[in-house]
Amino acid sequence: MAPLALLFLSFSLLPVVTPASVPLSRNGWTATADSFQVGNEPSKAIDGDSNSIWHTKFNPDDPLPNSITIDMKNSYVVNGVSIQPRQDNVGNGRIGEHRIELSTDGNNWGSAVAVGAYVNDATTKKTTFVAKPARYVRITALTEAQGQNYPWTSAAEINVYGDVKYTSRAGWTVTTDSEEGGNEVSNAIDGNAASIWHTKWTGTVPALPHWIQIDQGAPATVAGLSYLGRTDGNNGNIGEYKIEASDDGSTWKQVASGNWQDNAEEKIASFTARARYFRLNALTEAGGRGQWSSASEINLIDSVSASYQAPAASKGLWTNTVDFPIVAAAAANLPDGKILLWSAFRLNEFGGGSGLTQTVIYDPTTGVSTSRAITNTQHDMFCPGISLDFEGRVVVTGGNNAEKTSIFAPDTNTWIGGPNMKISRGYQSSATGSDGSVFTIGGSWSGGEGGKNGEKYDPSSNTWSLIKNALVAPMLTGDRRGAYRADNHAWLFGWKNRSVFQAGPSKAMNWYNTNGDGSTTGAGNRGDDADSMNGNAVMYDAVAGKILTAGGAPHYQTEQAHANAFVLTLGAPGTNPQVTRAPDMAFARGFANAVVLPDGTVLVTGGQSTVEPFSDATAALTPELYNPRTNSWTQLNPHAIPRTYHSVALLLPDATVLAAGGGLCGGCATNHWDGEIFVPPYLLNADGSRRQRPGITAVAASVKLGATLDITTSGAVASFALVRFGTATHTVNTDQRRIALTPQGGSGNKYTVGVPGDAGVALPGYWFLFAVDGEGTPSVARTVKITV
């Protein structure tokens, strides 16, 4: 068949050439270990045979920890490691808690690039981290995944992943055997993942196989081909494929073949070939849905390895990955500095379950994650509302078990079953109010669609009550799927006099009075913003009533997100806030997370430009920092792992940020069993070393509303800040807010600050207290409880 389309790309239209990640060739590599059983040497972990294993010595045993070190003989830009456990249906030696380190010389290892715990099963574990140059990779097993009585370590296959780069597409022409009008082949190389090439589907549909051909214009050595499936659905995803190379466009030689999974994630076929022409042949449709083929983006991999450039400390650093034994879709700060994380009834999958939630408590200080399946509350807490009450208890409502309430009591480390809500809900939001009650509204994802008016939970009486006049209708978006999506994930803020402000995601804003029968009062539109489902809203200055909103999309899914940002200033309840347009973010984002930092800046991380659940296509890897003082955004160093649908982010006590999770879709390619730690620029010297930090040496554990707080520091400081503990799920964090504190007096290193007296501003409960020096460097936080 004659080619149907032809395109010449001028250089000015090309997207930025970005690195890809591929398994490195293990030819010539060697492996050593601190222990091995004869017949199970460490070389068996890199021999390409999953039936052979490295196993530490047994009879007698060599006690844990055990380590294996791989010498790649050359230096590479390394960004990941995969570990395949033994595949003989025996679990002995599966790695649990672990540490992964890199070295250029085999002697100096520096800080670990990854820590954490792997789940106890036979699936291959992949750990991704921010790329660094290395010749040596060391994996240390600290525990055995099956438990303390198993003192061994084993692995069937270990692969190391490295950065590669795409070739330039300047001067390319592309042709195909079939295309649909509006979905021409040129869309596959236009740098826009939201546009696609699709073979003809109207009229007479040509049968598989189909092909797309690249003419580079001149011969070049290529190390592989990258295929990105469509981002707006799955029809046409390529399954079985073969790749051919040609010098003249007539005589072809096969260089790769295989079968790709049915999803929209980037697939890389690795090979080495020098040719002018390359042809991707689609032999089957991955889901068997029809005689189609499609692609969002196709690239060739450069034979020259990606170069390494150390990230600038002025843009913050992502220090290490934390592997979790669950895919974290929800999280909450706890008073002891730990993080409560949970998924659903399964470790990596939502839906279909009931009465069970998989949880983890992560200790950022030790790196240890403690797993626990919660059954006593009979509540699958996937897709819930979350709020922290005045006692720091985590109140979790609805979700997969849509009527349920579960409460985590941090003082006893126990889960308690609460009363059922009056209205069953999922994807609702909740907010703690100035009277201590928890207000919730919306949530048509589960428990029926529509009519999800407000109700509130009273912790003192342990009861729910409907609020007759707290109406959901005024806060609905215009989502194409109606109430099922239109009442999700409200941006709620507890405010003065038992009021709750709804800032979005609808473009219409509202006030809810939660006293008695309550009331709903319109608060105008959010400037010229559109509906912004799955965007973010953060109260970065509670005393001034300042809220930053950023990103989101008019519809929940299969929609282009926007980069809009606004600053809202709250006044008296019931009055329209002041709305000021802030500069747009550099990246359009939905499904991102936002965290307020001690210095009053707001970190927005993750998300994607085309919102699509369970897809990492169009993921934004570059975080942005909003500075209210300069009313500007700054792009920061990118993280390694997409954080899109079902991701979370929280402030940690040491003023770093944990960004985690994403996916929760069973065996899909977008499950992210991990988190990453971000060190903001305010903690770093120009060379990347840590700044000397101020310290809080003495402060009371609690303070009453309107009272003063005496603080002793290790040296002179300029100011203090309170940041309320946060909770996060589905882009929503209604608990976090910040209060700037100016010292009122004192001598030496002793300071006194005044806590606001309004419970709608200084919302009682647990807060991080930070001291900030004259350079803007925050201390490690002390936990302070604000009481009524």
Q: How many other β-carbons are positioned within 10 Å of the β-carbon of residue 198? A: 24
How far is 780 from 337, CA to CA, in rounded Å? 11
pLDDT of residue 16: 36
- For the stretch 229-261, what's the b/e string if a residue is b when 16 or more beta carbons lie within 10 angstroms of its beta carbon? bbbbebbbbbbbbbbbbbeeeeebeebbeeebe
Q: Residue 21: what pLDDT?
A: 76
Q: Cα 106 vs. chain centroid, distance in angstroms? A: 32
Give the pLDDT of residue 266. 81
Name residue, tokens 């295989």: 258
The mean pLDDT value for 356-376 works out to: 97
3-state SS, one letter per residue, for 364-404: CCCCCEEEEEECCCCCCCCCCEEEECCCCCEEEECCCCCCC
Instruction: Please report which helix (H) or strand (E) contains residue 703, including its range.
Output: strand 702-704
Q: Quick one: DSSP state of residue 600?
A: S
> How many whole angstroms separate alpha carbon 288 and alpha carbon 280?
19
User: Phi first, then psi: what are they for 485, rounded to 5°?
Assistant: -115, -20
Q: Is 118 a catalytic residue?
A: no
What pLDDT digit, counting tens, does each position of 169-215 carry?
999 999 999 999 999 999 999 988 778 999 999 999 999 999 999 99
pLDDT by residue (tens digit) across 518-560? 999 999 999 999 999 999 999 999 999 999 999 999 999 999 9
pLDDT at 4 over 60: no
Tell me what percent of the residues of the chain surpass a pLDDT of 70.
97
pLDDT confidence of residue 20: 67
Q: Which of the residues 645, 682, 751, 766 is marked catalytic? A: 645
Can you give the pTM of this predicted structure?
Answer: 0.90
Q: Rounded distance, CA 428 to CA 457, Å?
A: 14
Q: List all residues 6 or more positions away from 309 whose beta carbon is below 8 Å from its beta carbon.
A: none
**Residue 673 and residue 662: Cα distance in Å, rounded?**
8
Count of all residues that appear for the chain in the document? 788
User: What's residue 5's pLDDT?
Assistant: 38
Cα separation, 684 vs 680, whole angstroms: 7
Phi-psi region of 443 (alpha: psi -120 to 50; beta: other; left: phi over 0): left
Question: Which helix or strand (DSSP H or E) is residue 307 part of?
Answer: none
Instruction: Provide the pLDDT confidence category of residue 15 given band limits of 50, 70 and 90.
Output: very low
Number of Cβ within 10 Å of residue 748's Cβ equals 9
Tokens encoding 591: 């499904």
Q: Is 509 exposed, middle or buried (0-12, 13-18, 19+ CB in 10 A)?
A: buried
Contacts of 72 (CB under 8 A, 6+ apart): 24, 26, 29, 134, 135, 136, 137, 160
What's the mean pLDDT when you consider all of the chain?
Answer: 94
- pLDDT surpasses 70 at 3: no
DSSP character at residue 692: P
Q: Residue 497 and residue 509: Cα distance in Å, rounded?
A: 18
Domains, in order of start, for the chain: 20-165 (2.60.120.260), 172-302 (2.60.120.260), 318-383+444-683 (2.130.10.80), 696-787 (2.60.40.10)
| pLDDT in the model for residue 59 | 86
Number of Cβ within 10 Å of residue 262's Cβ equals 16
pLDDT of residue 11: 26
Alpha-carbon distance of 5 to 122, in angstroms, equals 46
Mean pLDDT of the 362-369 span: 96
Of 306-310, 389-393, 720-724, which gets the smallest average pLDDT? 306-310
E strands in 526-652: 536-541, 546-550, 559-560, 565-569, 578-582, 590-596, 602-608, 610-611, 624-627, 632-635, 647-651
pLDDT tens profile 415-458: 999 999 999 999 999 999 999 999 999 999 999 999 999 999 99
Here the tokens at position 595 are: 């965290």
Task: Give just the sign of the alpha carbon dihedral 781, 594, 431, 613.
Answer: negative
Q: Convert the pLDDT of each residue in 248-263 to its tens digit.
A: 999 999 999 999 988 7
Give the residue among 346, 242, 300, 315 at the shortest CA–CA distance from 664.
Answer: 346
Which pLDDT band, with edges at 50, 70 and 90, does 270 fall under?
Answer: confident
When pLDDT is cut at 50, 70 and 90, the band that residue 13 belongs to is very low
Conformation bin of residue 488: beta by default, left when phi > 0, alpha when psi is -120 to 50: beta
Contacts of 644 (CB under 8 A, 6+ apart): 591, 606, 607, 608, 615, 616, 619, 662, 670
Q: Is the pLDDT of residue 132 over 60?
A: yes
Q: How far apart are CA 417 and CA 5, in angstroms?
A: 62
Sorted by sequence, the CB contacts under 8 Å of residue 250 that are 6+ apart come out as none
Residues 6+ apart with CB under 8 A from 635: 315, 586, 622, 623, 624
pLDDT score of 17 = 39
Contact between residue 692 and residue 319 where contact means Cβ atoms under 8 Å apart: no
Residue with tokens 């390895």: 305
Write the DSSP assignment of 519-545 as a string of letters: EEEEEEE-TTPPP-BT-EEEEEETTTT
Q: What is the pLDDT of residue 22?
A: 77
Give the per-residue pLDDT at 7: 32
- Predicted confidence band of residue 14 (pLDDT cuts 50, 70, 90): very low
Rounded-to-integer distance, Cα 707 and Cα 724, Å: 17
Calpha distance 345→443 (Å, rounded): 19
Do residues 197 and 187 lie in contact, with contact meaning Cβ atoms separated by under 8 Å?
A: yes
SS3 category, 60: coil
User: DSSP letters of 337-350?
Assistant: S-EEEE--SSSSB-
Contact criterion met (CB below 8 Å) for 99 and 116: no
Which pLDDT belongs to residue 747?
73
Assess whether pLDDT exceeds 50 at residue 331.
Answer: yes
